[in-house]
Structures are given as C-alpha cells and as structure tokens.
C-alpha cells in the first residue's frame, strides 16, 4: 500500500471509530462521568492505571473505584482522613490492590498540594516533540514520598524501555483536542503533536501488518518507531491513528 493510500485508509478508519459511540465500550467513559477538571483528570488517571485485561472488568472496577471515592475524586484526595482510606480496603483489579490504591491516593494528594497538579508536572518536563521524558519525571515525583516497593510497577517508565501504553493513553485523553468529543483536550499547555500512540497488542499487530512498525517487541523502541511513522502521516495529530489501529485490531480482527 502506497503512503497516500495508507493515509487515506487510516483517515477513513479514524472517522469510523473516533465518534461518541466509541465512549460506550471504552474506559474513557469513566472520566466522562465528571465535569470538574480535577475530577476528570484524576478519574482518568486512576482508570487508565487499571486499564488492562477484560474490558468489562476494567469498567466494573473503575466504576466501583469512583463509588469508593464518593464520586468526588478530587475532594476525596485533598480532604480524606485515615478512616476514609480504610474504606478502600478490599479493592483489587488484577495485580493492583488496596495497598497500591491507598498509596496512589496519598501520592496524588502530594502532587496536587505540592506540585500544582498532574498537568503542571507533565507540562514542566515536556519536551518539544515528546512527553516520554515527562512520564519518567512524573514517575519520580509520584514516588517521592514513602511508598510500598510493589506499587512502583503500576506506573511505567519509558526510559526503562517501557511502551507505557496506559499512561500514553491517559495523556491522549487529557491533551488531544477532539472534534468528536471523545478525548477531552483539557490540558492547554501541551499539544497533540507531542503525544505518543498507546501501543498494545492490538495496535502493535495492526501497525506491523500495515508496515508502520517493524520491531517485534512492543517496547519503548517500538513506540518511537511507530511515532515517527504516524507523524509522517499527520504531524499535528499523530495519535488520532490510535482509533484506527485499535478499531481495526479489536473490532475488525484485522
């Protein structure tokens, strides 16, 4: 397939899948339940953190988590007491459990009170053409307070060769200005051109079949390769193609 044909094909698939209907079956529906900026970004971050495995299970547990936070995640994080944290006991999604969740709540409180919030951290460390170094710096700040060693695995680090799929998906949600209303575009100091495509089994397999990606392992090096290919198709909004790659893989078994 020629480059022009590939671009036309993928642009068509973006239009097909980047629609409000996409929200109905996707974890992004969880932050869409909120209107306050901080609630959206916190609900999005926590949901993205547990967004692996069965999609129904992700949605069930993410909704349960929002209930445990009294459906006011920002207020809960800023104003919780020790007894409030006890109510989180028993939460589990695959390997993410209540020990991890309680630390996440404490760390997010530290970030909002002492670092200006999640957006401020990413904006501070963003590079002109990439947010991958900012993810690395974010992880350092996220774990700057006393923490259980086991919890570190739940925030990926691109500088340790992780594709950081879930956090790149979260950044797409927060940064990308979406005319269809799927992604939020809440963070005005960052641009879609800096984003990286969330690379998972589905998007990786489709990208390889379309010759957008040669590397067989879905790691940070593969992500960099895919980013370069997608930016040649659209330098301003390269991660819109996540909808095409994901849709082709999950819904069409391409």
How does pLDDT run across 99-117, given as a tens digit for each residue? 999 999 999 999 999 999 9
Q: Could you tell me the pLDDT band of residue 253, with boundaries at 50, 70 and 90?
A: confident
Identify the DSSP state of 242. H
Q: What percent of the chain has pLDDT over 90?
A: 94
Q: Is pLDDT at 28 greater than 80 in this prediction?
A: yes
**pLDDT mean over 59-71:** 98
* Per-residue pLDDT at 84 exceeds 80: yes
Distance CA(178)–CA(4), nearest Å, equals 23
Cβ atoms of 31 and 44 within 8 Å: the answer is yes
Give CA separation, 115 vs 58, 69, 109, 238, in Å. Answer: 29, 22, 10, 29
Residue with tokens 């659209």: 234
Query: pLDDT averaged over the chain?
Result: 96
Average pLDDT over residues 168-173: 98
pLDDT score of 254: 83
98, two tokens:
């209540």
The pair of structure tokens assigned to 193 is: 């051109």
Confidence of residue 3 (pLDDT cuts 50, 70, 90): confident
- pLDDT cut 70: percent of the chain above it: 100
Torsion over CA: 21, 24, 25, 28 (sign): positive
Average pLDDT over residues 151-179: 97
Looking at residues 72-79, what average pLDDT do you find?
98
């Amino acid at each position: 397939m020629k480059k022009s044909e590939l671009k036309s094909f993928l642009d068509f698939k973006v239009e097909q899948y980047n629609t409000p209907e996409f929200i109905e079956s996707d974890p992004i529906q969880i932050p869409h339940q909120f209107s306050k900026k901080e609630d959206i970004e916190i609900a999005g971050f926590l949901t993205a953190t547990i967004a692996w495995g069965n999609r129904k299970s992700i949605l069930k547990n993410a909704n349960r988590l929002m209930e445990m936070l009294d459906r006011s995640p920002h207020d809960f994080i800023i104003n919780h007491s020790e007894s409030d944290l006890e109510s989180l006991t028993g939460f589990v999604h695959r390997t993410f459990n209540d020990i991890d969740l309680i630390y996440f709540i404490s760390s997010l409180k530290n970030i909002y009170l002492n670092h200006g919030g999640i957006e401020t951290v990413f904006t501070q460390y963003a590079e002109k053409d990439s947010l991958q170094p900012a993810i690395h710096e974010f992880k350092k700040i996220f774990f700057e307070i006393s923490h259980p060693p086991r919890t570190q695995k739940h925030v990926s680090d691109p500088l340790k060769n992780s594709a950081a799929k879930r956090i790149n998906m979260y950044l797409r949600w927060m940064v990308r200005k979406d005319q269809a209303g799927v992604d939020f575009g809440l963070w005005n100091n960052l641009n879609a051109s800096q984003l990286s495509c969330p690379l998972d089994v589905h998007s990786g397999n489709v990208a390889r079949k379309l010759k957008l990606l040669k590397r067989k392992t879905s790691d940070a090096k593969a992500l960099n390769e895919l980013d370069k290919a997608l930016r040649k198709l659209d330098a301003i909004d390269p991660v819109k193609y996540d909808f095409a790659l994901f849709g082709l893989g999950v819904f069409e078994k391409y």
